[in-house]
Amino acid sequence: MTDVNVKLDALPGLDPNALPLEVKNLQVEFRTRNGIAHAVNGVSFDLRAGETRAILGESGCGKSVTAQAIMGILDTPPGFVTGGEILYRGVDLLKLPESERRKVRANRIAMIFQDALSALNPVFTVGFQLAELFRKHRGMSRQDAKARAIELLDLVKIPAARQRVNDYPHQFSGGMRQRVMIAMALALDPEVLIADEPTTALDVTVQAQIMALLAELQQERNMGLVLITHDMGVVADVADRISVMYAGRVIEEAGVDDIYASPAHPYTKGLLESIPRLDLKGQELSAIKGLPPALTNLPSGCAFNPRCRYAQDVCRKDPAPSLLQVSPSRTAACHFWKEVKGDE
Ligand SMILES: Nc1ncnc2c1ncn2[C@@H]1O[C@H](COP(=O)(O)OP(=O)(O)O)[C@@H](O)[C@H]1O
Ligand SMILES: [Mg+2]
């Protein structure tokens, strides 16, 4: 590979020994005509180098808003970060001026989106868009930048990269476009990659290929990956730890094996039971009944109580407990986690 030997400006307060990402008690609200929606309501999680942290939950629970807040690309207004910290190697990104934030976004924490077509610019070739990154952020010559673009397309296993570098986004299939997105995200060698439902728009075979590619690149680069998904099936093979979100909160946090062996929150359990299983062919899926609540109109008590088969009076009256320690390495926000874990 061409040497990318340009040093980044030092970030004041950067601690190389601190974790690549720590989100602490993050609060994001949307001020809308229908009232205030607490889209992210005290979310905390961390990410080690080389680790995959899955953020899992049904649509509307605050996953993308969390990612947008980390990237500093929240739609403001109506969205506002109203509290918490987002630490990159000990530096609180929320306190950085926008000029510094932009550098972090380009070089250190990158993101790929569900919809690759709308994330790429339709009027420029894929090669031009990749080369621009190197020209702008690394000061490379046109020729070097193009060579580097071809290397990157090779890296994400796009066949005939040397020719395809001159094609426009619409000339690529959905899966190949998502590979281009990955190439763009990895171009400047970030330490953290946030992938927001990166395979949702693709068919199942292509999904598996893209996930395998992401996992491979992540390992090669010892990069931290935040994998956002609503699909519990996707995370089983690739995630190390999982944060399950519901209505703007993390309601369970654990290692992937613990979650699969014995979920401790009724919502996680419901998500698990709704994965189609080949060994139980013909058996009815017990998907969770009902829909997540509107964030401007949460039910009283625990936000999940109307859909919960474990719910008691306390769950309808009192707010859900904050995350309770289930074991040294896992937490769940449910009074009845013992019952939930126990009755397999
Ligand atoms: N641009 C917006 N304007 C108003 N509310 C928004 C906007 N974006 C997100 N929200 C609110 O935040 C909630 C969480 O959205 P999001 O993070 O996109 O969910 P998901 O978990 O599906 O990614 C939505 O249900 C909505 O209430
Ligand atoms: Mg989303």
pTM of the model: 0.93
- Specify the pLDDT at position 274: 81
What's the rounded mean pLDDT across residues 45-61?
96
Residue nearest to atom 6 of ligand 1 (CA): 30
φ, ψ at 248 (rounded to 5°): 85, 0
Atom from ligand 1 closest to the CA of residue 59: 22
**Is the beta carbon of 296 within 6 A of some atom in ligand 1?**
no
Helices marked H in 139-173 = 142-155, 161-164
Residue type (1 letter), 182: I
Residues in the chain: 344
**Is the beta carbon of 293 within 6 A of some atom in ligand 1?**
no
**Is the beta carbon of 63 within 6 A of some atom in ligand 1?**
yes
Condensed to tens digits (0 to 9), the pLDDT of residues 68-81 reads: 999 999 999 999 99
* Res. 7: pLDDT tops 70: no
Condensed to tens digits (0 to 9), the pLDDT of residues 187-202 reads: 999 999 999 999 888 8
Q: CA 37, CA 60: separation in Å to the nearest integer?
A: 11
Atom from ligand 1 closest to the CA of residue 39: 12
- Specify the pLDDT at position 57: 94
Domains present along the chain, CATH in parentheses: 17-49+64-239 (3.40.50.300), 243-276+288-343 (no CATH)
CA 33 vs CA 30, 73, 248: distances in Å: 10, 22, 19
**Is the beta carbon of 32 within 6 A of some atom in ligand 1?**
yes
**Is the beta carbon of 28 within 6 A of some atom in ligand 1?**
no
Give the position of tokens 């193009």.
146
Atom from ligand 1 closest to the CA of residue 67: 17
**Residues whose beta carbons lie less than 5 angstroms from ion ligand 2:** 63-64
Three-state SS at 38: strand
- Name, in order, each residue with C-beta under 8 angstroms of 291's C-beta and a sequence gap of 6 or more: none
Query: 34 falls in which pLDDT band (50, 70, 90)?
Result: confident
Q: CA 39, CA 32: separation in Å to the nearest integer?
A: 12
| 78 cis-preceded (ω within 30 degrees of 0) | yes
**Is the beta carbon of 65 within 6 A of some atom in ligand 1?**
yes
Contact between residue 145 and residue 131 where contact means Cβ atoms under 8 Å apart: yes
Atom from ligand 1 closest to the CA of residue 32: 4
Three-state SS at 153: helix
Burial-class residue 101 by CB neighbours within 10 Å (0-12, 13-18, 19+). Answer: middle
What's the rounded mean pLDDT across residues 96-119?
89
